[in-house]
Structure 1
């Protein structure tokens, strides 16, 4: 019987650090010696290989260039492995998970991101459990085919859809939440997979495609009472601006001050796509439910529905280079592409 083959990709982050027993300093862990450090991995019925970035990337320095590097590692090894586990710093993990979900089209294998709040060598570390269970999740098979066929994020006993997550806590082990979509699996005495929530792969087999062209000239604007007209104008007039994401209040509401609406109208005339997402942790934008958002609808603002900020940004980065007309871009953005929004 052949065991599932899992590729472990170390990009950086706390999970890959060990503490020097004498100095207390943190240093990068040599993942070639993974089985020596974590002998429990031998109990898993899978074959594990590792690839590490030459220079570990601090989560705060993650950017689209590194997303492309991660995607290319998966692309180059896609036929050789049954699943992929990406070790990543937790601060920007939801952004990377969301971006990869759009970049990896027709994905038919698990790509699981994980990390930890404490280094792998700490006594109370969460790293071992997160790593071991992520590998176990990536190795899950039914009739010799992967159970998970999407980009997931595993942290503190729960597997989430990657593009539905956001980091909610900098100190607790339970650092992530998926407020608008149930978890895909839960680890307890048994590993319980909620199959009804998994992303369904189309019945027609389509070729795996990796999209590497991403547009990052996007402004992210969080509305707040008293937001400055001067500052907003400078953002909307920024050279090379290709898109705007506006975090509005509640179900998609905003100020109706004349200067603000005129700013949006001007941007709409310049064919700059603008996305309306809620700044609430959970819930959805409902364009036109209130008079304030009705005005946005008339201007042609795109509804981000129940997208997270991370998913909205990466979805726009993915769609902008496609050269779509304003109408087609709006239709594509408001369509559920990878399970990232509720239809």
Structure 2
């Protein structure tokens, strides 16, 4: 019986799973059952690799919570049989999916590594092979017979990040992702440099899967001159269960009374509002400037240094937990999966 770590490779769709038909020049889906034939380098890895695919691979622009549930089902069904999981996903919405999965999988004690590529796996200059090979290698890392990584991560272009700290920052560079407010967990060079002090320390409680996400979330981005009529119309939508407010700098917005009063009304009706910064890096610090004092007084929740992607995912997750307003605010402002500092 093999003592090698067993890794399940799950293909959801995306560029990494495409290969060029050299007769037509068109891209077609890659057959992952023939993975080792097409990427013989994988045989050199010290692990056993199995594959699974969504029945119909999807472009990540079509990703939604139904597919997140399907992915959770695949992981939970195979959880005891594998030491780690590598998820191949289109890069456009990878940070959203990976952030959501980090909340949906509670007390995770194994690696779930997301990766993808900017170029198809069959392209001459592809980044797909390196991303795939190293992601599998990282998922198979063991120390004292336990996985080194015990959280949801994202690997791209020589760096492993905590998934819920990432954002896609480039549509054309190989370095497509960044984690501005938290350092890489592993850097891939001649050797894999593991920064153990940065790794998430999992709970010893039993593994749980949460699939009750509430998706009625409004993402409202502030900009100078945003019309009162538009804001009031959006805030009046009855189906809204939660709001993520993208503000300026360290959490600042207009001090116009109509805006603050509208937020107060929404919050009093039981709809939580979370304040996140539009800046790529940095943190919301409500009360630092006069332009955020009103938000704090109104009961707006501080997203601190959370990414927009993780803020939306965390909102969906917590709305599904049926928490009271005070508990919701307290839990939202608490790091659950290392998503905020």
Shared fold per TM-score greater than 0.5: yes
Distance, in Å, in 1 between the alignment partners of 2:262 and 2:63 is 32
3-state SS in 2 of match to 1:124: coil
Corresponding residue for residue 95 of structure 2: 94
3-state SS in 1 of match to 2:211: coil
The 5 Å alignment of 1:114-129 reads 114-129=115-130
Corresponding residue for residue 231 of structure 2: 232
The reply on whether 1:243 has 2:242 as its aligned counterpart is yes
Corresponding residue for residue 21 of structure 1: 22
Corresponding residue for residue 112 of structure 1: 113
Equivalent pairs counted in the alignment come to 340
Corresponding residue for residue 331 of structure 2: 332
Distance, in Å, in 1 between the alignment partners of 2:320 and 2:183 is 31
Deviations 1:99-134 (A, max 9, x none): 010000000000000000000000000000000000
Corresponding residue for residue 288 of structure 1: 287
Once the two structures are TM-superposed, the CA of residue 266 in structure 1 deviates from its matched residue by 1.0
The 5 Å alignment of 1:1-343 reads 2-202=3-203, 205-342=204-341
Q: Which runs of 5+ in 2 are unaligned?
A: none
Distance, in Å, in 1 between the alignment partners of 2:270 and 2:43 is 56
State the TM-score, normalizing by the size of structure 1: 0.98
Once the two structures are TM-superposed, the CA of residue 332 in structure 1 deviates from its matched residue by 0.3
3-state SS in 1 of match to 2:9: strand
Deviations 1:201-226 (A, max 9, x none): 23xx2110000000110100110000
Distance, in Å, in 2 between the alignment partners of 1:233 and 1:63 is 27
Deviations 1:313-342 (A, max 9, x none): 000000002111100000000000000000
Distance, in Å, in 2 between the alignment partners of 1:162 and 1:5 is 22
Distance, in Å, in 1 between the alignment partners of 2:267 and 2:316 is 18
Distance, in Å, in 2 between the alignment partners of 1:201 and 1:225 is 42
3-state SS in 2 of match to 1:113: strand
Distance, in Å, in 2 between the alignment partners of 1:213 and 1:251 is 32
3-state SS in 1 of match to 2:129: helix
Which 4+ residue blocks in structure 1 deviate beyond 2 angstroms? none
Distance, in Å, in 2 between the alignment partners of 1:317 and 1:257 is 29
Distance, in Å, in 1 between the alignment partners of 2:231 and 2:309 is 21
Once the two structures are TM-superposed, the CA of residue 239 in structure 1 deviates from its matched residue by 2.5
Q: Which runs of 5+ in 1 are unaligned?
A: none
Distance, in Å, in 2 between the alignment partners of 1:142 and 1:261 is 52
Distance, in Å, in 1 between the alignment partners of 2:231 and 2:216 is 16
Distance, in Å, in 2 between the alignment partners of 1:262 and 1:311 is 27
Distance, in Å, in 2 between the alignment partners of 1:249 and 1:296 is 13
CA RMSD of aligned residues (A): 0.7
State the TM-score, normalizing by the size of structure 2: 0.99
Distance, in Å, in 1 between the alignment partners of 2:75 and 2:207 is 11
